[in-house]
Structure 1
Amino acid sequence: MLVEKIMKKNVYTLPPTATIREALQLINNKRIRHIPIIDETKQVIGIVSDRDVRDASPSILDEHAKQNVLNKPIKTIMSYPVVTIHPLDFVEDIAKIFYDEAFGCLPVVSEGELVGIVTEKDMLYTLIQLTGTHMQSSHIEIKVPHEPGKLAEIFSIFGRRKINIVSILIYPHQKEDDYKILVIRAQTIHPQPVVDDLKIAGYEIIWPQPLLGAE
């Protein structure tokens, strides 16, 4: 999946000369958490989070706090330089950037101009879509030899049962390098028949496990 499919195109921005007060009002009024700071050519020169703004704002509990701090330009608290991504980047690749750098958002830039933004929340929602957890389905995990043809064999078992596959994930077996764990979301609320077929075909089922006393 490409970044352009999940990015928000309606991005609220501010120039570096805007005040901290303006940023605070924008965050509160639009209920956003990040504001890209752009220059007159729409190039991203910084970014400000809601935490940055609130940390810079005087406490309402402090009677002696200097309220004029809110009149300082936003460039005094923005983070820079900014890591950006491209609309044609793969979501899987930018997920690693989010994880490695612990970013809350990434501006999307094309030909030097800001065209969108992707946040942590967008990434989590995309993960929900990619894994099919938003659809009524059953979760099946299978230990599969890492050999050519095994996926086709497993898919044929689902096909004979006329069960649609909603999503597929594959990850390494923690202890055996020659095996993978295949995670399938199947469009059925009664997975046991296909689970039994998989067992008959010689596959080890990690999930679902039989209920205690069921076997």
Structure 2
Amino acid sequence: MIIEEMMKTEVQTLTEEDTIEEALRILNAHHIRHIPIVDKDDQVIGIVSDRDVRDASPSVFEQDPQLNQLRNRLGSIMTSPVITVHPLDFVEEVATIFYEHEIACVPVTSNEKLVGIITEKDLLYTLIQLTGTNVQSSQIEVKVPNRPGMLPGVVDIVGNRKLNISSILIYPYKPDNHYKVIVFRVQTMNPNPIIDELRAADYEVLWPKAPGLSL
């Protein structure tokens, strides 16, 4: 999945000359946490978060709050330069950017102009879609040798039962890198017949556990 398919295109923006008070108003009115700061050409020059605004605002515990702090320019508190992504970037690549840079939002730009925005909430929702947990299904995990041709054998067993596969993920088997784990979700509430066939074909099913086995 590419970013263009999941990004929000209706983005609230401000300029570096706008005030902290205006940012606070927009954050509260639209229930958002980040505001890209753009120049006259709609190019992203900074970003302001709700935390930035909160830290720069007078404390509610102050006996004599300095309300003029709210009139300060956003240019004085914005984060710059800003990490941006492109609409044709893959969601997996953007998730890596979020993780490595410990950020919760990135503007999406094309030809150096702002076209959208992606937040960590958008990524989580996309993960739900990619893993198929948003539809009724059963998860099955199969341990297989780490060599070519293992996936088709597992998928054929599911296909023979005329069942839809919601998602397939493959990840390393941590105790031994000679193996991998195939995780797939099948649109059935009774996966036992598939599990029985997998075991009959000498596949090791890690989940669901066989009756009587400890977790």
TM-score normalised according to structure 1 size: 0.97
Q: Which amino acid aligns with 1:208?
A: P
For residues 62-77 of structure 1, the aligned pairs below 5 Å read 62-77=62-77
For residues 121-200 of structure 1, the aligned pairs below 5 Å read 121-200=121-200
Deviation (angstroms), 1:177: 1.6
Q: Which whole-Å CA distance do the structure 1 matches of 2:120 and 2:28 have between them?
A: 19
1:207 corresponds to: 207
Deviation (angstroms), 1:128: 0.3
2:78 aligned counterpart, secondary structure: coil
For residues 61-140 of structure 1, the aligned pairs below 5 Å read 61-140=61-140
Q: Which amino acid aligns with 1:133?
A: T
Deviation (angstroms), 1:159: 1.1
Q: How many residues align?
A: 213
Q: Which amino acid aligns with 1:181?
A: V
Can you list the C-alpha shifts for 1:70-110, whole angstroms capped at 9, x where unaligned? 00111110000001000000101110000111111000000
Can you list the C-alpha shifts for 1:20-72, whole angstroms capped at 9, x where unaligned? 00000000011110000000000100000001001111012212121100001
Q: Which amino acid aligns with 2:6?
A: I
1:33 correspondence with 2:15: no
Q: Which whole-Å CA distance do the structure 1 matches of 2:24 and 2:195 have between them?
A: 54
Deviation (angstroms), 1:161: 1.3
- Please, which runs of 5 or more residues in structure 2 have no aligned partner? none
Q: Which whole-Å CA distance do the structure 2 matches of 1:189 and 1:43 have between them?
A: 50
1:144 aligned counterpart, secondary structure: strand
Deviation (angstroms), 1:160: 1.2
Work out the percentage of aligned pairs sharing the same amino acid: 54
CA RMSD of aligned residues (A): 0.9
TM-score normalised according to structure 2 size: 0.97
2:96 aligned counterpart, secondary structure: helix
Deviation (angstroms), 1:150: 1.5
Can you list the C-alpha shifts for 1:106-148, whole angstroms capped at 9, x where unaligned? 0000001000000000000000000000110001000011222
Q: Which amino acid aligns with 2:131?
A: T
Q: Which whole-Å CA distance do the structure 2 matches of 1:164 and 1:196 have between them?
A: 18
Q: Which whole-Å CA distance do the structure 2 matches of 1:160 and 1:147 have between them?
A: 23
Q: Which whole-Å CA distance do the structure 2 matches of 1:61 and 1:99 have between them?
A: 35
1:22 corresponds to: 22
Q: Which whole-Å CA distance do the structure 2 matches of 1:69 and 1:27 have between them?
A: 17
Q: Which amino acid aligns with 1:82?
A: V
2:189 aligned counterpart, secondary structure: coil
Q: Which amino acid aligns with 2:7?
A: M
- Please, which runs of 5 or more residues in structure 1 have no aligned partner? none
Q: Which whole-Å CA distance do the structure 1 matches of 2:158 and 2:211 have between them?
A: 23
1:50 corresponds to: 50
